[in-house]
Chain A
């Protein structure tokens, strides 16, 4: 691993942008700067959390569809495709299967929220 790693670099760059550059940028570009900072924040968190989130998602899918999704061989895209197809085919229409699916999706979405919107992830975890 290189140091600083991708996440550390992006965080440092983001901090400089907001603390040192933002105050002297004309107001009509504030929205753009905020968007840039937001994109850098997401990318920094993703660089850090992506691997674990992907593995978690595949293993959740595998628990729901043990015959189709295999941890170690199935990719994240394939796992999502398999799950989407199974939902449409009605495999989760029964109450028991439905609640298991709902719970798993909620976990996946929370992991994605921790990357894209950590503030909301914290309140949602509190609510759930």
Chain B
């Protein structure tokens, strides 16, 4: 045992602080909260997220407006960050915008783009209680005692998000809205397929069907694009925070509902259309509290096919990332073997099943 280390016990780094960020973050937080003395007494990397890292910070503040004990989350790029998702600065702007629109999200506090602090961009937000674990939320009635109430929460949050219409000066970094989002997605996905080293006839067939069954576009609004079980926190049976805003874009509101209800995101609880946690009609009832809208069976099916096609392409791209050595990971490798399941769903939906 190293004696020098033992002697400096009182100054020893926090257990979870594997990058040595504690002191740097304390002085940063003291800077953004003048008149406060900030101590980080706990740091823990939260699980999940190959692209982003989330750190739970236990913070003690003496003096100033925020004096007291807090649990905050620091969100930053993972070491092996890929360039497909938005920057932390943009995600912070999205979070701030939707928070102001009344969407249930962790309250965003500060964005730091100064790479001199921890070497990466990051932002700090409120930690929200509860769990996001899909496998538990779909099964455990103790976690979700009132499924219709949870589903209405989901619907209300979606409707508040979809009420944000372009243009928005706080979101001017987003690609401008297109006249026909479904067409744009089809074209984009065909391009993704062309960039891959292998061919996928079933995904092609799904895209062909999407091309031929396209309905009139809806008015553009802000959509989440990863709104599914696993990406919202549930505390005492209710939505406590919607997470992971890095894919947010202007688009067709029905895309979010197709994604939420797609079979691949029901965690095995297939009879519960809404993300395995409950009924779609309850989601739509909550939605109607904010904005009355209907979704026909054909529209739902269309956007569920779109959801599976998108997930299938992402799965192949993730496999590529593993195989090319960009990010070696058994999890990414296994994602590639989800493909037959996704393709099966595409074919069944096109044939009127699933």
Residues of A within 8 A of B (CB): 32, 35-36, 38-39, 42, 77, 80-81, 83-85, 87-88, 90, 92-93, 101-102, 105-106, 108-110, 112-113, 115-117, 120, 124, 127-128
Contacts and interface: CB of A to CB of B under 8 A. Distances in A.
A108 B200 CA distance: 11
Contacts of B208: 87-88, 90, 92-93
B205 A102 contact: yes
Interface stretch (B111-119, B275-283, B340-348): B340-348
Nearest to B200: A84
Interface in B203-231: 204-205, 208, 212
B143 interface: no
Given A77-B198, A87-B201, A105-B205, A110 B333 contact: no
Contacts of B331: 35
Q: Which of A81, A92, A106 has the most chain B CB atoms closer than 10 A to its own CB? A: A106
Contacts of B49: none
A36 B338 CA distance: 15
Task: Give the 3 A-B CB pairs with smallest separation, nearest first.
Answer: A112-B340, A84-B199, A83-B201
Interface in B168-197: 190, 193
A113 B344 contact: yes
6 contacts: A35-B331, A90-B208, A102-B347, A106-B344, A109-B343, A117-B337
Given A39-B330, A39-B334, 6 more contacts: A39-B333, A105-B347, A108-B201, A109-B343, A127-B348, A128-B348
A124 B344 contact: yes
B199 A112 contact: no
Interface string B321-354: 0000000001101100111110110011011010
B341 A117 contact: yes
Given A80-B201, A87-B205, A120 B350 contact: no
Given A36-B330, A77-B198, A84 B204 contact: yes
B202 interface: yes
Contact of A109 (B198, B330, B347, B353): B347
Nearest to A127: B353
A120 B348 contact: no
A108 B204 CA distance: 14
A117 B340 contact: yes
